Structure formats: structure tokens, C-alpha cells
Amino acid sequence: MISPAIILVAPQLGENIGAAARVMGNFGLFDLRLVAPRDGWPNPAADTMSAGAFEAGVSVTVFDDVEAAVADCVQVLATTARPRGMIKPVLDLSGAIEVCGSVVGRAGVLFGAERTGLPNEAVALADAIVSFPVNPQFASLNLGQAVGVFSYGWAAAASAEAPRLQDDLLRDSPATRDELIGMLEHFEEELDRAGFFFPVVKRPVMQLNLRNAFTRAGWTSQEVRTFRGAIKALALGRGKARVVRED
């Protein structure tokens, strides 16, 4: 099974990035992605805290935004302890590991910044929320610790040979986040032309609601292509009179 990507969204301290990399290497995860790190990259503080994790194989890729960071992912999970007012499945650690291990393709796990956590726009792109069973009276986890909890769960499941979904080769490939975002942007563009986003002040909320709803559906690549074809057909037919045949 393909190991998931660990994605740190707007991390602040290089030490926490290094700690995350170290514990990833400990438990066999090597794809670390950073979205707009506050202090830039590379970061000497991260290198020191990593204890050699980067030399041991943990690779770092830096992205400007979450959409780019999850573009190749077919499943995206958001770790958050705060209720978001979004209707999404909430997974515990074992459920999250099962999802990551069973997808055909790469999964991505989002972790938020130390002070503010994940923004709603990032959570809206996720298929499900991951919540750890922390003490509700003291729920704050250090960023490196949070990555460590997930990394341990992944390694434990891998060593126990967690089963994959059967007949993967017979299933249609899940849509990557890049394909899904492309479909959403296509749909939003046509809705814009049709005057759907009115009044303009409500556009961000309407857009967020649409994206949240569409990411829950578990799209396949074929379904994305079909829906984009439907969008195109509706757009081309806009304003044309309907022709009724009488045989």
C-alpha cells in the first residue's frame, strides 16, 4: 500500500517541522509536504530537530496552497479537534489508517498551524475529519506530537498487515484532488455566468458549501469526466430553444 503524505499547513516553527520529520522517519513515512511555512524553507532549526530524518529519506516539498499540495491525492483527511459546522465523516485513528491504507492511490493527511489549526477552506477540501481521543479538558497537541500519533498508527497497522479493499484492479480509479478541484472550478465558472452567486457578499459561503458537499461524494476519475461533460453540455445549451420531435 502507498504511504500517505503528511501535509503541514502554514507551520510556524522549524523545530516542529523537524520533530514531525523525525517521527515520520521513525515509523516509515517519508512524504512530508509544507504549505506556506511561515519561516520559509529550508530551515536550520528543522534540520537540527530532525535528528537526521532528512538524510534518512524524509523528503520535503513546499507548496503555495493546499490545493497544490493535495493535487495528486485521491483521499484527503483533515486532523482537527474543533467542530467546523461541516457535515463530514469523523474518523478515529484506526478508521483514518484504514482509509489511507485501502485507497488506490495516495492519501494526504492535513495538519494545521500551531496557533490556529486548519482553516475552514482546507477542511472543506477533505473527505473526512480525523479526531484523536484526547482529554477534552486539555485537547491541544503539539504539531510534532500529532504527526507522531498518526505515524505510529500507520506503522502499527502496516506491521499487522492491515487488509486492503479487495479487487482494487477492477475498481475505477478514485479521482485525484486535482481532478476534483478542476471539476469544481469548471462548475463554479458556469454558475458564475448563470448569475448563481447572488448576492456577491454570499459568494464565499455558497462556494464553501458547494465544495464541502462535492468532496463528500467519493468521486472516481470517470465520474468527474462524466460530470464535466454534463456541465459542458448544459453550458452549450444555455439560451437555445428546445426542439420537440413529433413522429
pLDDT digits (tens, 9 = 90+) for 76-126: 999 987 766 788 999 999 999 999 999 989 999 999 999 888 999 999 999
Task: State the residue for C-alpha cell 520559509.
Answer: 40
DSSP 8-state assignment for residue 7: E
pLDDT at res. 48: 96
Instruction: Report yes or no: 92 and 128 within 8 Å, Cβ to Cβ.
Output: no
pLDDT at res. 84: 66
Identify the CA nearest to 146 among candidates 23, 45, 32, 244: 23
Residue 110 lies in a domain: yes
User: 113 and 208, same structural domain?
Assistant: no
Which of 109, 126, 159 lies at the terminal end of a domain, its last residue? 159
Which residues face 2 on adjacent strands? none
pLDDT at res. 58: 97
DSSP 8-state assignment for residue 244: -
Cα separation, 142 vs 113, in Å, equals 10
pLDDT at res. 161: 58
User: 109 and 183, same structural domain?
Assistant: no
pLDDT at res. 239: 53
pLDDT in tens, the chain (247 residues): 789 999 999 999 999 999 999 999 999 999 999 999 999 999 999 999 999 999 999 999 999 999 999 999 999 999 987 766 788 999 999 999 999 999 989 999 999 999 888 999 999 999 999 999 888 888 888 999 999 999 999 999 988 754 444 444 445 788 999 999 999 999 999 999 999 999 989 999 999 999 999 988 789 999 999 999 999 998 887 555 444 444 4
Residue 242 lies in a domain: no
- Sequence-ordered strand ranges (E) for 43-104: 59-63, 73-79, 90-91
Residue 245 lies in a domain: no
Identify the CA nearest to 127 among candidates 188, 213, 67, 185: 213
User: 145 and 37, same structural domain?
Assistant: yes
The sign of the CA dihedral 203, 205, 140, 35 is negative
Q: How many structural domains are present in the chain?
A: 2
User: 128 and 44, same structural domain?
Assistant: yes
pLDDT at res. 166: 44
User: 122 and 211, same structural domain?
Assistant: no
Identify the CA nearest to 96 among candidates 83, 116, 110: 110
User: 209 and 187, same structural domain?
Assistant: yes
Is the overall model pTM greater than 0.85, yes or no?
no
- Which CATH number do you get for residue 23? 3.40.1280.10
Which residues face 9 on adjacent strands? 35
Range of the domain at 64: 5-159
Cα separation, 20 vs 135, in Å, equals 22
Expressed in angstroms, the distance from the first to the final Cα of the chain is 57
Residue 124 lies in a domain: yes
